[in-house]
Amino acid sequence: MFVEKRKHARLSIQLDAKIQTESGNVYDGKTKNISFGGLFLSMSPNEVLEEDDSCTVSLLLNKDDDSGPVIPLTFQCNIIHCRKNGYGLQFVCIEGLEAYDHFEKLMILNSDEPDRLMAELEKHPGLIVNQKL
């Protein structure tokens, strides 16, 4: 019998992503799924991230939408696992309270079970917000 160990439910959300490694290399990717604790990212097979490294991931909301300004969400992440089809990243923090508010709304509005996600957040708050000074 499979026992789910994840604290946060995954949502299938495809967003364009920019990944910057500690060495300064920048790669393009696309989210396959995302949760309040992290995301799974697919990238070109030629681009290699290393397990246990840190990186910065930027997601752009409204990029292909004329309804409003592009909203960047920038996360500090740890690379948890590397697979043939992508990379599992764990969020360390998100840059800015406004970005966190947008991220929370993105998750809730794209969930089939928004009440479950809100209950999850109460039990496991997840992300640390890095306040920009």
The number of distinct structural domains making up the chain is 1
pLDDT of residue 86: 92
Phi, psi of 116 (to 5 degrees): -65, -45
CATH of the domain at 97: 2.40.10.220
Quick check: is 9 in a domain? no
Query: Is residue 2's pLDDT more than 80?
Result: no
Neighbours of 32 (CB within 10 A): 18
Quick check: is 24 in a domain? yes
* pLDDT tens by residue, 8-60: 678 999 999 999 999 999 999 999 999 989 999 998 776 788 899 999 999 98
Quick check: is 54 in a domain? yes
Quick check: is 1 in a domain? no
Please tell me which residue, 119 or 2, carries the higher pLDDT value. Answer: 119
Quick check: is 36 in a domain? yes
Average pLDDT over residues 49-76: 86
Q: Which domain holds residue 124?
A: 16-130
Mean pLDDT of the chain: 85
Quick check: is 62 in a domain? yes
pLDDT of residue 4: 44
pLDDT of residue 124: 65
pLDDT of residue 1: 44
With 0-12 / 13-18 / 19 or more C-beta atoms within 10 angstroms meaning exposed / middle / buried, residue 92 is middle
Of 81, 77, 79, 71, residue with least CA distance to 91: 77
Q: Which two tokens stand for residue 37?
A: 């604790």
> Which residues 6+ apart lie within 8 Å of 14 measured at CB?
30, 31, 32
Quick check: is 20 in a domain? yes
Alpha helices (H) along the chain: 97-109, 114-123
Quick check: is 11 in a domain? no
With 0-12 / 13-18 / 19 or more C-beta atoms within 10 angstroms meaning exposed / middle / buried, residue 58 is middle
